[in-house]
Amino acid sequence: MSRRLALDVSEYPALVSGPRGGLWWGMLGLIVIEVVVFGALIATYYYLKFLAPHWPPAGEPLPKLLLPTVNTGVLIGSSFAVYYADTSISERGDVRGLRIGMGLSLLLGVVFLVLKVVEYSQVEYFWDSHAYGSIVWTMIVFHSSHVLSVVLKTGVVLALSGHGHWSRERAQGVKVNGIYWHFVVLIWLPLYITIYWTPRIHG
């Protein structure tokens, strides 16, 4: 029993990285599914917009740009932090760099969620107010749930780094987590354009 507890993590088998690994293909499959779902939401938004005489509905102001634009910058910054963490451990075996990058990405992810709560606590419509409210709230909540999930996943990665779980040879979990984080950031960009800019385009 004591022998098992004293097992050095350097004795763990190295995982196959990149396209040769099962985790990589599993994450790719998940992302393909997610792209289809987000694409369906965006298509639904434009379908409703082109059918409606007014978008947003009459009486509803155009969505404000300042806070979501700042928040978009926060989310993009988190992607750079994740990239720094990934390359630190996978290319240099730098656990400290991994922890710094993961910690910063976690902070920025939480900031994004807090600002999103602040933003939507100020709007006067809800998901059941009208078609516009339904699709906007669905898109925002759906994406925010993805940010929350990747923040929680990254918290696990960071916690494991405190136990010496990651190394240059054993970094596949960090890489796969990073791939998903980058996806969550990238998929926000068409959502941001759709929700905040297209209502300003008439016709």
Per-residue pLDDT tens over the stretch 77-106: 999 999 999 999 888 888 899 999 999 999
State the average pLDDT over residues 69-84: 97
Give the CATH fold of the 20-200 domain: Four Helix Bundle (Hemerythrin (Met), subunit A) (1.20.120)
Write down the pTM of the prediction: 0.86
CA distances from 168 to 39, 51, 94, 164 (A): 36, 54, 8, 11
Which residue, 96, 104, 97, 100, is CA-closest to 74? 104
pLDDT reported for residue 192: 98
Contact status, residue 165 vs residue 9, Cβ threshold 8 Å: yes
Quick check: 17 pLDDT over 50?
Answer: yes
Lowest-confidence segment of 6-10, 74-78, 95-99, 121-125 by average pLDDT: 6-10
Lowest-confidence segment of 2-11, 130-139, 146-155 by average pLDDT: 2-11
State the average pLDDT over residues 62-86: 96
- CA–CA separation, 122 and 132 (whole Å): 16
Instruction: Please give the single-letter amino acid code of residue 167.
Output: S
Q: In angstroms, how far is the first alpha carbon of the chain from the final one?
A: 72
What percent of the chain clears pLDDT 70, i.e. is strictly above it?
Answer: 87
3-state secondary structure of 60: coil
Quick check: 5 pLDDT over 70?
Answer: no
